[in-house]
Amino acid sequence: MSFLGLDFGASFLKGAVLDSASGSIRHVVRIPFPAFLKGLPPGHREVDSKAVTAAFTKVLDLLLEAEPKPEMLVLCSQMHGFIFTDEAGRPLSNYHSWQDQRAEEIDPKTGHTFFEESTGRLTESDQAALGREIRPGLPSSQLFWLAQKKLLPPGARACALADFILAQACGQSPVTEATLASSHGLWNGRTGDWHQNVLSKLELPGSLLPKIVPSGSLVGTLDWRGRKIPYYTPVGDQQCALVGVGLRENELSLNIATGSQVSLRSKTFEPGSHQVRPYFDGEFLRTITHIPAGRSLNALIRLFTELHPESDSDRTWGSLIEKMEQIPETDARADLSFFSGAFGSQGALTHLREENLTVGHLFLAALENMARNYGEAAQRISPEKAWKSLVLSGGLAQKIVRLQRLVQREFPCPQRLPAFPEDTLRGLLILGSFWSGRHGNLAGLQTDILTRSE
């Protein structure tokens, strides 16, 4: 069975032809995700909805050239962003990215940020039920800002990106499932539905959010240039990637890319000093996300190359890694929290002297900070250290061997790297094969496909 998979990532929109019989991923297509609109107020991060639709159209058409008769379509999506639609799935706004920080603006009526005001309305029980999904960039925070400004479109639905794409393409009311619903910061992990009490406290209408349906629901048929392609509920890209790397029981996941996350599977919804997100087969993830990684490293690289901004990016990365590998150890210290995230919102470079004020020392200090952050995050997720092994995934983990060694020093346990690239596309291959009824057990199918892929 061949079907199509698309991943709406933060940096790229990519897709492929997925073959459940062979476990193969063919004809991978990758285009940059549309850029943020210019001229917006500071901290506002939006993308033109028409540009997103055009990118989807381009990728889907390219895939249909390679596989004219796919059996179905499966998608995963970057999380924590949203777009307003009407009841028929038509866009009523730009796409509001998870990188938006408007909620950190000061409300002149209170003297506090809108984020502080919104969280101040929630009890400890509320925050626990939300799985600790509380940050300035989440839809909950942005929607509160819009509600206070009287800018919510009447009758609108606030949809995750891939949910919008399919609703618009099919002209139907948008729906969602748990892994994407939870990324709004308004999902009740105790009930599996929207947290109506929190919506009320934030002065958000109960009709603002789409209906939640079970993961793997066959929710529509895409009529695309004469082809009728059934499609399933899109899922969150984090959970999809973890399926793709074959996350096992009692295995700690470190995914290191633009951002990074530390995750551990759990049988039950257990709030703690970490986030809790839905996974698949009735499980949950204990996780800490938005740990500084590639985005913060890119900020450092922009500093290093500011006088020569035309520098080739790949060559710059290669030079930095080469310089860093010449440094056996450093006493320089870095805090990569240049953006609001799990470890604060103000970074720093310290313990600098003339001898260590070099790009090699600073880059090594940055990697050491990343490894320390992962160790601290893992301790918060599981103080009892319930993991027995570690899976290290994501572009940066594959690219920087020194980072692998630093992580191994932080986690003295068996460690593996996935034997294949494209975590999210492989996750879509496994999930699509499971949802279509080709296998009765997700864990067994995951093992089968990953074994054949190797």
Between the alpha carbon of residue 380 and those of residues 198, 263, 328, 373, the distances in Å are: 25, 11, 30, 11
User: pLDDT digit string (tens) for 189-211?
Assistant: 999 999 999 999 999 998 999 99
Is residue 425 in some structural domain?
Answer: no
Locate tokens 């179905």: which residue? 72
User: pLDDT digit string (tens) for 104-131?
Assistant: 999 999 999 999 999 999 999 999 999 9
One domain for residues 134 and 75: yes
Asked whether the predicted pLDDT for residue 141 surpasses 60, the reply is yes
Q: Give 303-356 as a DSSP string.
A: HHTTT-TTS-HHHHHHHHHHHHHT-S----EEE---SSBTTBS--EEES--TTT
Is residue 423 in some structural domain?
Answer: no
User: pLDDT digit string (tens) for 145-176?
Assistant: 999 999 999 999 999 999 999 999 988 899 99
User: pLDDT digit string (tens) for 24-59?
Assistant: 899 999 999 999 999 999 999 999 999 999 999 999
- Which residue range forms the structural domain that includes residue 78? 2-237
Helix (H) or strand (E) holding 201: helix 196-201
Determine how many CB atoms are found less than 10 A away from the CB of residue 35: 9
How many domains are contained in the chain?
Answer: 2
One domain for residues 74 and 211: yes
Task: Report the b/e string of 273-292 with b at 16+ CB within 10 A.
Answer: ebbbbbbbeeebbbbbbbbb
One domain for residues 233 and 253: no
Can you read off the two tokens belonging to residue 203? 């002065």
One domain for residues 275 and 207: no
Q: Please compute Rg for the chain using Cα positions.
A: 22
Selection from 72, 118, 344 nearest residue 234 by Cα: 72
Is residue 183 in some structural domain?
Answer: yes
Is residue 61 in some structural domain?
Answer: yes
Is residue 309 in some structural domain?
Answer: yes
State which of 215, 237, 259 marks the end of a domain.
Answer: 237
369 contacts 392 by C-beta, under 8 angstroms: no
Give the CATH number for residue 272.
3.30.420.40
Instruction: Give the percent of the chain with pLDDT over 70.
Output: 99
One domain for residues 19 and 79: yes
One domain for residues 92 and 182: yes
Is residue 426 in some structural domain?
Answer: no
One domain for residues 259 and 207: no
State which of 216, 237, 258 marks the end of a domain.
Answer: 237
Overall size of the chain counted in residues: 454
Average per-residue pLDDT for the chain: 92
Determine how many CB atoms are found less than 10 A away from the CB of residue 121: 13
One domain for residues 231 and 258: no
Determine how many CB atoms are found less than 10 A away from the CB of residue 404: 18
Instruction: Identify the three-state secondary structure at position 260.
Output: strand
Asked whether the predicted pLDDT for residue 452 surpasses 70, the reply is no
One domain for residues 298 and 396: yes
Asked whether the predicted pLDDT for residue 440 surpasses 70, the reply is no
Is residue 431 in some structural domain?
Answer: no
One domain for residues 301 and 393: yes
One domain for residues 219 and 315: no
pLDDT band for position 355 (cuts 50, 70, 90): very high
pLDDT band for position 286 (cuts 50, 70, 90): very high
Asked whether the predicted pLDDT for residue 453 surpasses 70, the reply is no
- Distance between first and last Cα of the chain: 19
Between the alpha carbon of residue 171 and those of residues 11, 61, 214, 220, 223, the distances in Å are: 27, 19, 21, 10, 10
pLDDT at 106: 95
Asked whether the predicted pLDDT for residue 295 surpasses 60, the reply is yes
One domain for residues 9 and 111: yes
pLDDT band for position 340 (cuts 50, 70, 90): confident
What's the whole-model pTM score? 0.90
Instruction: Give the percent of the chain with pLDDT over 90.
Output: 75
CA count, 13 A, side-chain hemisphere, 278: 27
User: pLDDT digit string (tens) for 228-260?
Assistant: 999 999 999 999 999 999 999 999 999 998 889
Is residue 449 in some structural domain?
Answer: no
Selection from 35, 43, 143 nearest residue 93 by Cα: 143
Asked whether the predicted pLDDT for residue 454 surpasses 70, the reply is no
For residue 158, the cross-strand partners are 84
